[in-house]
A and B are shown apart, each in its own frame.
Chain A
């Protein structure tokens, strides 16, 4: 996935001189996860560079560049460090078009590794997409494969909206996949049905897709057929795909890493109720993190959603 993201950035830097890539340690070092490796050398220090260590400054200057016609792609080094820039996201980037009645736009991408499961330090493991999905005017997307990572990032850079592009760092280098060369795009806001099934719909995204797929192998042994939807986009959310699938299977489980209450799973359950109430054979269900802070590495296994937690819920819902 790291290479796919790098490739997408490289393609857009090559193609559009308005694209600017910056953030903490993004230039010379190529980012702490090496996502931007080699880009400064290739595209120059004016277009790919290390910024001062200040997240509000990074996002806020990107707002300024964007209203002045550039297309900045900025990196938050870790999800836990985005909060100093929260004001810039919620008060400016997501509002500029509306408050100027279309005079100014902020076409910009905020890239950010997120999520747990890598034995990281404190503040490096959260999955807080729900907070950002709640912000009017912002789009929030999460790829789950190298192919999607590339196509979705190119779409994000080409979009005239502000996009929070969340990268599941746990699977940065975990999934080997052939990714088509050259430019291609994947529309933002459309979910992807990864496997067809008839007994239960599971909606997941990011690093959770792999966990669900592992649970599905075990479920299959018991004769349970799962339909897996990769949500891809937290907002806008693809109601149609979710509704169509629940109408078919009658059961839905949402799997997310973030805390449970007021989360993405709550929203998806509500969509299932609104759109497919009479088709439901069981209450919409969810497998999520707890409403707790993610424990430090020794305790993280309690918190993390794993294939067994998912299988446990699949069995419960199918028998309901």
Chain B
């Protein structure tokens, strides 16, 4: 595959066309029908959750949130293949992959509501928290890859970054280190065409982002990231490369961010309606749904029934997160060091004295005493 789709040829790997028709049978992955339906449902769930989260934000019930809308196939295919013991190193637009690892929606909601506890991921092994400083997480992936190789473990690292992140120094350092060390890391660039408002052509003079792999001496491929089958197959082949000790692999997944960068962003300022409409035809869920319908694995009735169920489930977890309770004052202090330094303990005691004083003042005021 990596020869056939060598990034120097500047061709994109596709399996399915925009209408859900298989156009590249040679590379169509073998997936059981029941699994296919599950993967579709997982992507649908992520989409329902994502859209609903944006509406919670609009209602003022959650802080700033970066939507995944339109990019679900990349996380969906990753989620279908990633194993419990594999490492997931996310950026911040990989909800589907995080849910597949065992992160709960409630945890993600807690994080975006302003609780660090939302990054504690009680049921997800080997999953790093969302990483906000762009591309900085990729070097961690290379280090984790080293640890896996050093301990001779049978694990992989899936590391994510956006198109803008490929301009950062840490992108270069991460792929370079991983290439020198030959460690099992799959770097996945979600090229959603924009870094906030800046288009890809202002990020690089390279013909593609996948072609950067050539300079690092690692395998790379440009994939239609809205084509679930192409993403799934490209990941399968990347896993083989990593397992054989030849890793890492760099995948450029071409997609489109249908939503805003975050809920604070207004995309109408930097992209046209025509452009948005043209990408609508390539929507990853629409395409997979067409495929499933053609093969009588899914229909509108099922779709509607599931969407209704999913909405209830999302809301259930959201309300649970809303009732999480107060942020305790200890939580500000206790997680910085293995043992809290004396000086920090004293700062906490000082804060307690202040809180007692404040409590007394407020009580005095409400009872009318001065």
Inter-chain contacts of B335 with A (CB < 8 A): 97-98, 101-102
Inter-chain contacts of A46 with B (CB < 8 A): 150
Q: Tell me, rounded to whole Å, the shortest Cβ–Cβ distance linking A102 to chain B.
A: 5
> Complex: how many Å from CA A242 to CA B133?
38
Cβ contact within 8 Å between A54 and B141: no
Query: What string of 1s and 0s marks CB contacts (under 8 Å) between B123-147 and chain A?
Result: 0000011000100111111111111
Inter-chain contacts of A62 with B (CB < 8 A): 143
Cβ contact within 8 Å between A101 and B146: no
Spot the interface stretch: A29-37, A84-92, A110-118, A309-317. A84-92
Cβ contact within 8 Å between A56 and B173: yes
Cβ contact within 8 Å between A60 and B143: yes
Q: Tell me, rounded to whole Å, the shortest Cβ–Cβ distance linking A248 to chain B.
A: 20
> Complex: how many Å from CA A137 to CA B89?
22
A240 (CB) vs chain B CBs: closest residue: B342
**Interface size in chain B (residues, C-beta < 8 A):** 42
Given contacts A137-B337, A236-B342, contact A102 B120 (CB under 8 A): yes
Of B120, B138, B341, the residue contacting A189 (CB under 8 A) is B341
Interface status of B117 (Cβ within 8 A of chain A): yes
> Complex: how many Å from CA A20 to CA B174?
18
Given contacts A60-B140, A99-B129, contact A65 B176 (CB under 8 A): no
Given contacts A60-B173, A61-B139, A68-B144, contact A91 B133 (CB under 8 A): yes
Given contacts A54-B173, A70-B150, A136-B336, contact A64 B143 (CB under 8 A): yes
Q: Is the interface of B mostly helix, strand, loop or mixed?
A: helix
Interface status of A104 (Cβ within 8 A of chain B): yes
Cβ contact within 8 Å between A236 and B133: no
Interface status of A244 (Cβ within 8 A of chain B): no
**Interface size in chain A (residues, C-beta < 8 A):** 47
Q: Tell me, rounded to whole Å, the shortest Cβ–Cβ distance linking A293 to chain B.
A: 24
A271 (CB) vs chain B CBs: closest residue: B343
Q: Tell me, rounded to whole Å, the shortest Cβ–Cβ distance linking B63 to chain A.
A: 16
Within 8 A of A (CB), among B57-88: 87
> Complex: how many Å from CA A313 to CA B344?
32
Inter-chain contacts of A101 with B (CB < 8 A): 116-117, 119-120, 331, 335
Query: What string of 1s and 0s marks CB contacts (under 8 Å) between A236-276 and chain B?
Result: 11011000000000000000000000000000000000000
Inter-chain contacts of A68 with B (CB < 8 A): 87, 143-144, 147-148
Interface status of B121 (Cβ within 8 A of chain A): yes
Inter-chain contacts of A160 with B (CB < 8 A): 338
Cβ contact within 8 Å between B343 and A239: yes
Within 8 A of B (CB), among A271-316: none
Q: Tell me, rounded to whole Å, the shortest Cβ–Cβ distance linking A256 to chain B.
A: 19
Of B117, B144, B170, B338, the residue contacting A56 (CB under 8 A) is B170
Given contacts A57-B173, A139-B337, A239-B342, contact A103 B136 (CB under 8 A): no
Interface status of B245 (Cβ within 8 A of chain A): no
> Complex: how many Å from CA A160 to CA B346?
22
Inter-chain contacts of B173 with A (CB < 8 A): 52, 54, 56-57, 60
Given contacts A65-B144, A65-B146, contact A99 B139 (CB under 8 A): no
Cβ contact within 8 Å between B121 and A103: yes
Inter-chain contacts of A236 with B (CB < 8 A): 341-344
Inter-chain contacts of B346 with A (CB < 8 A): 239
Given contacts A91-B133, A102-B120, A104-B128, contact A61 B140 (CB under 8 A): yes
Interface status of B29 (Cβ within 8 A of chain A): no
Inter-chain contacts of B151 with A (CB < 8 A): 69
Given contacts A91-B133, A105-B338, A159-B338, contact A54 B177 (CB under 8 A): yes
B336 (CB) vs chain A CBs: closest residue: A137
Inter-chain contacts of A56 with B (CB < 8 A): 139, 169-170, 173
Cβ contact within 8 Å between A98 and B177: no
> Complex: how many Å from CA A117 to CA B190?
49
Inter-chain contacts of A239 with B (CB < 8 A): 342-343, 346
Cβ contact within 8 Å between A63 and B140: yes
Inter-chain contacts of B147 with A (CB < 8 A): 64-65, 68-70
A189 (CB) vs chain B CBs: closest residue: B341
> Complex: how many Å from CA A61 to CA B169?
14
Given contacts A52-B177, A54-B177, A68-B87, contact A100 B146 (CB under 8 A): no
Inter-chain contacts of A185 with B (CB < 8 A): none
Interface status of A67 (Cβ within 8 A of chain B): yes
B178 (CB) vs chain A CBs: closest residue: A61
Q: Tell me, rounded to whole Å, the shortest Cβ–Cβ distance linking B165 to chain A.
A: 13
Interface status of B180 (Cβ within 8 A of chain A): yes
Inter-chain contacts of B336 with A (CB < 8 A): 94, 97-98, 136-137
Q: Tell me, rounded to whole Å, the shortest Cβ–Cβ distance linking B194 to chain A.
A: 23
Given contacts A236-B342, A236-B343, contact A60 B139 (CB under 8 A): yes
Interface status of A211 (Cβ within 8 A of chain B): no
Interface status of A199 (Cβ within 8 A of chain B): no
Of A64, A92, A105, the residue contacting B141 (CB under 8 A) is A64
Q: Tell me, rounded to whole Å, the shortest Cβ–Cβ distance linking B301 to chain A.
A: 42
B122 (CB) vs chain A CBs: closest residue: A103
Cβ contact within 8 Å between B140 and A67: yes
> Complex: how many Å from CA A101 to CA B341?
17
Within 8 A of B (CB), among A92-144: 92, 94, 97-105, 136-137, 139
Question: What are 7 inter-chain pairs, A to B, with CB distance below 8 A?
Answer: A60-B140, A64-B139, A64-B142, A69-B151, A88-B139, A101-B120, A103-B121
Residues of B within 8 A of A (CB): 87, 89, 116-117, 119-121, 128-129, 133, 136-148, 150-151, 169-170, 173-174, 176-177, 180, 331, 335-338, 341-344, 346
Beyond the given A20-B150, A61-B177, please list 15 additional residue pairs across the A-B interface where CB-CB is below 8 A: A51-B177, A54-B177, A60-B138, A60-B140, A60-B143, A60-B170, A61-B140, A61-B146, A65-B146, A84-B169, A87-B170, A102-B335, A105-B338, A235-B341, A239-B343
Complex A-B, nearest 3 residue pairs according to Cβ-Cβ distance, in ascending order: A64-B143, A60-B139, A61-B143
Residues of A within 8 A of B (CB): 20, 46, 51-52, 54, 56-57, 59-70, 72, 84, 87-88, 91-92, 94, 97-105, 136-137, 139, 159-161, 189, 235-237, 239-240
